[in-house]
Amino acid sequence: MLVGFLSLAIAASALAQGLPRGRPEQLGFAPERLARIDSVMQRYVDSGRVAGVVTLVARHGRVAQVGAYGWADREAGRRMSADAIFRIASQTKAVTSVAVMVLVEEGRLRLADPASRWLPSFATATVVADTGRGRVPVRRPVTIRDLLTHTAGISYGTDSLVQDLYRIAGLGPAAGYGWYFADKTEPICTSMDRLGSLPFVAQPGTRFVYGYNTDILGCVVERVSGQPFDDFLRTRILFPLRMPDTHFFLPPEKRDRLAAVYAANDRGGYVRADDGPRGQGAYVDGPSASFSGGAGLLSTASDYARFLQLLLNGGTLDGARILAPATVALMTADQIGNLYGSGASGFGLGFEVLLDPGRAAQYGTRGRFGWGGAYATNYWVDPGEDLVAVFMVQLLPSGGLDLADRFRTLVYQAIVGPGQAAPRRP
């Protein structure tokens, strides 16, 4: 059996740039129950379901659990470590959504603004006709709020009615381009300008359609701010929050910390993904032109936990004020009602929001928010429990991996008391 859980001294060293460490019992956890995370994660590694995993749980602003299990790169013989760097895919959307709201707070952008103000090709946007043949004009412009809530009607080009058009335009998985822009050859605004000429699959404001919405927002941030999107994120969010290992493209000296990508097979195991754009991806070598606001970032559990703690704290962390509390409250409130589903969960400005734990049959308190990524990563923030949690793995396709859901159960079953909240700086 591989040794999974790191010692306290090693973990503390790995998280030197992260949140402070706390004792589980002081944070309201039963240590013996929290240790169940170790045994379950290690069991999945030993059974061949996953190559490697990193978990992190923080409550009251302090880390109660961090674990590194299995392999970061099995073929290279490199063990997983707490500071391993992961492709976080759609977890990028939360960071981009915060960037948008920074500009909203500064009065440079409004939620009601039309996207066509910065991407002119969207001024003549069309929708696939109800008959499936031909196009009709959009009934109203796509707004910034539509994009944040995924109600613009814009997909990833996977729908059969538009798949061929997206493929011809070089967008979407059908083109081999990847919904996460894995080949990195084209600036994101160039891609998004071209997207505006392709048909949507629904009228704006009528359906939840998961797609390129947040990539469009990354272009909007770039054009409103006058900065390259990666520069804006670095200077306005990543540097103030002390997230040194969050990048669109990895500096070569960090190459050996990047976890390898694996793909689930039909036998319940996995194989190493190929070295192409839809496998390991060009995250170190090769072109570095596409800063995908919807799926492009790399990060660590430690860095991402700091970002989540910012949101839990109402927009501030360690003296850095990124957003106002009212803005975070707006982002994490349900914005679209039944457009998202039955009402057990809703969707805010960039996050899924738990509205009724009983109806959803999910652990957590009302208002818990989060999302995940294509490589089977996951995160959530639970204001009612003063809790953040990060689950990192690299498995695409995931083959129905249920480990993130098990991780959530393991976290909540370990909470046995309120714990002691540490003083926080305003």
Q: Are the C-beta atoms of residues 401 and 393 closer than 8 Å to each other?
A: yes
298 pairs with which residues across the strands? Answer: 87, 247
Neighbours of 100 (CB within 10 A): 25
pLDDT at 182 over 50: no
345 phi and psi angles, rounded to 5 deg: -135, 155
Which tokens belong to 271? 């194989």
What is the per-residue pLDDT across 35-71, written as a single tens digit (0 to 9) for each? 999 999 999 999 999 999 999 999 999 999 999 999 9
pTM of the model: 0.94
Note if 121 is an active site residue: no
Rounded to whole angstroms, what are the CA distances from 313 to 99, 220, 323, 324?
A: 17, 27, 10, 10
Averaged over 250-271, what is the pLDDT?
96
Q: Indicate if 94-234 has the same CATH topology as 8-84+250-283+300-413.
A: yes
Residue corresponding to tokens 């939360």: 94
Q: Are the C-beta atoms of residues 67 and 55 closer than 8 Å to each other?
A: yes
Averaged over 363-390, what is the pLDDT?
98
Closest CA to 249 of 267, 264, 227, 233: 233
What does 242-274 look like in DSSP terms, one character per residue? T-TT-BSS--GGGGGGBPPPEEE-TTS-EEE--
| Domain map (residue ranges) of the chain | 8-84+250-283+300-413, 94-234
**How high is the mean pLDDT of the chain?**
92
pLDDT band at 177 (very low <50, low <70, confident <90, very high): very low
Fold of 94-234: Beta-lactamase (3.40.710)
What is the per-residue pLDDT across 285-325, written as a single tens digit (0 to 9) for each? 877 888 999 999 999 999 999 999 999 999 999 999 999 99
Choose the catalytic residue: 13, 39, 47, 90: 90
CATH number of 8-84+250-283+300-413: 3.40.710.10
Rounded to whole angstroms, what are the CA distances from 252 to 71, 230, 367, 412?
A: 20, 17, 40, 38
Averaged over 210-236, what is the pLDDT?
97
Neighbours of 207 (CB within 10 A): 16
Helix (H) or strand (E) run with residue 371 in it? strand 369-372
pLDDT band at 412 (very low <50, low <70, confident <90, very high): very high
